[in-house]
Chains A and B, each alone.
Chain A
């Protein structure tokens, strides 16, 4: 392919060529950063919580009028829920994965250690907590009923007799893999606490991208407490497969039968909680995808428009070339090569622009570094887009009859 004539023709149309190249560069920069964000947000929203989400629902409960016997009422509710047909297990807790609210604690390995070894989320529950969430115990043992005591709200500072932690937390605290039986130190007055069991996975309540919880996503602790609170707390109910809808209807009725002096707040399946928690991430993904598609379309139409104009402008020259023996293919190739040159320049600028845009976002939004392969994939997409867009005007150019050259203008 002879580049000489193409380049000299382009020099007469500098502005048009530059416009297309810069457009393609910006398109590329936005495209690969957007794809990168999409991929990250999708991965984020797919992180497992550890619970048997398809068969777990959450029901908020709050007692009215500061009743003195909340502990007994709690046990009554739990017994009723566990006896409902279709229920595998149920327990009461302060928080659950993806809820957005909960309690944290810094864990230390020695009592006089200044900075915590690991930041963790605290979940309170009794011996039904593991079955209630549908977690997998991978080492040690579950709580015994004797381990579990009442905790009177967050201001009650009594320490747990033993704790169950997640595998990721266990590996972080004790890389040797011998976490069960070891002891850790939590908040100041609670003293030494033995680790009695390890569950495979239990996500923390905070899930927003780059947010507070992203630094310790799977570092959770279950403490053997009945959470006695005059404020809203959650019942976690694990149903038999396929029984969700019937239990969802029966459970609040059953609780209101026991007592009406309560507010049953949000009742939601864990899948609904997930959809809710990640709604903005999903929204961002859809919006970015639409913007990317529109961006590609706009750029493609721009190429079609400008190339068509160039074809129209050069009708006579094309006719002359055809009359002098150039084949239709040679004409098509001319426009394709021209576009490839422009798009190649655009892609080169675009890759640089994409990487610097990402660098800026890394600083401004604590975003991750862009994988260079995204920039390369983006470059290929942009080059192919250019070739596809130029095809129609090129075909039109190829259909210009050689006879045109012989006619007077």
Chain B
């Protein structure tokens, strides 16, 4: 029976090609616009580390005092920490794993002296960084905790960096020259891409980033300046030592807290830490701290730009218009066939049968619209890639989930829009139609 309805549906679609074409085109255009925006939005608002996002937390401490947060910080907290506080939290080791970190732009001298040096992003972090973020290694592994202590000249390379410097060979134990100093490679990462790079959102969160990792202690020792944002408020002394002693905020800090108990304990610890700073006379205000997991952090930092939200809004409005359009056309089409339906009803077809037949017909329209819409989505994403900056463009790719969403959305929305016309069809009075004939 279903295949018969399906054939009937196809036949009826062929009967009025213009109306059918308009309907399919309307749905396709709506789905195309919607999916283009949705794909970018999904890529931007996705979970960068789904297996662990509920165990990773970014602590915040108010080290400026309640009156000094100029603009843009309604909760009187800042997204980064001072060196003093990072040192304090690292020393306390109150979480299962923890790492302070920052990025520095360094010049990398190639082995061949004739080649010009290049600039690379170096991330200074502690050894916990790697197991905490589930960073995959291809060769070797992270440096040790004693390397952190010893301020050792060791580095971990990303796979791309290793390809560039060593042609993809196992480079563990080899030496690279960063800013004219030798560093021993302790490990090479496998492919590792976080979208967005949640741990430091100040530097191109969706773009290319850290290429080399080195011990935080070493970077501080070498006075490696911060490339991300540095915000200072209040007195500070000159020079690198002045920066370290100051309440300037320029460091990121993440902790791993596997259970809810750990989270509660860490919250208490943060408050105790701030209270202790108050007792020491460093803070002149009661403790004000916060702990957010990865998704809360992305929400807090408002990572999806307003452009994308506007596009989502506009494109869903557009889809709505397209669907209402299709609904009007369907109504016209089905009511135009009231006579046929009357005859079928008079010959014994039940309301349910008419309903099923029309619903399948709408489903076919939705399917066709969805497939065409998918094509338009690909076209839209291609346009988005050429229109937007590299950072956005990297996100404009269709995956299987997007494809599934597009087809489901098209069929679902079309069938929903077709419910009323279908219902009307099922209520055609056979007697009236036959009489008019």
Interface on A for B, CB 8 Å cutoff? 15-16, 19-20, 22-23, 26-27, 29-30, 33-34, 37, 62-66, 106, 114-116, 119, 153-158, 187-189, 209-210, 212, 215, 230-232, 256, 260-265, 276, 279-280, 282-284, 286-288, 290-291, 294-295, 298-299, 301-302, 305-306, 309-310, 312-313, 357, 361, 364-367, 409
Contacts and interface: CB of A to CB of B under 8 A. Distances in A.
Contacts of B117: 64, 261-263
Contact of B307 (A22, A276, A280, A301): A280
Given A188-B236, A232-B119, A260-B116, 18 more contacts: A15-B420, A16-B328, A19-B328, A26-B320, A30-B318, A65-B107, A155-B240, A188-B234, A189-B235, A263-B118, A265-B119, A287-B383, A290-B383, A291-B33, A302-B324, A306-B331, A306-B332, A309-B19
Contact of A37 (B310, B322, B327): B310
A210 B302 CA distance: 13
Interface stretch (B54-62, B138-146, B182-190, B385-393): B385-393
Q: Chain B interface secondary structure, helix, strand, loop or mixed?
A: helix
B116 A283 contact: no
Contacts of B335: 309, 313
A16 B310 contact: no
B105 interface: yes
B165 interface: no
B384 interface: yes
Interface centre among A187, A209, A298 (most CB of B within 10 A): A298
Nearest to B33: A291
B225 A153 contact: yes
Q: Which 6 A-B pairs have the closest CB atoms?
A: A65-B180, A309-B332, A283-B387, A302-B325, A365-B306, A19-B328
Nearest to A279: B389
A302 B67 CA distance: 58
B401 interface: no
Q: Chain A interface secondary structure, helix, strand, loop or mixed?
A: helix
Contact of A232 (B18, B105, B310): B105
B180 A263 contact: no
Contacts of B19: 305, 309
21 contacts: A16-B331, A26-B324, A33-B314, A62-B105, A64-B179, A65-B109, A66-B180, A263-B107, A264-B116, A280-B305, A280-B307, A282-B387, A284-B311, A287-B311, A294-B318, A295-B318, A298-B26, A299-B325, A305-B19, A306-B328, A365-B306
Contacts of A364: 309
Contacts of B318: 30, 291, 294-295, 298
B109 A64 contact: yes
Given A155-B243, A230-B225, A306 B317 contact: no
Contacts of A231: 105, 225, 227
Given A15-B420, A283-B384, A305-B329, A156 B105 contact: no
B225 to A, nearest CB: 5
Interface in B64-89: 67, 70-72
A27 B392 CA distance: 27
A310 B329 CA distance: 11
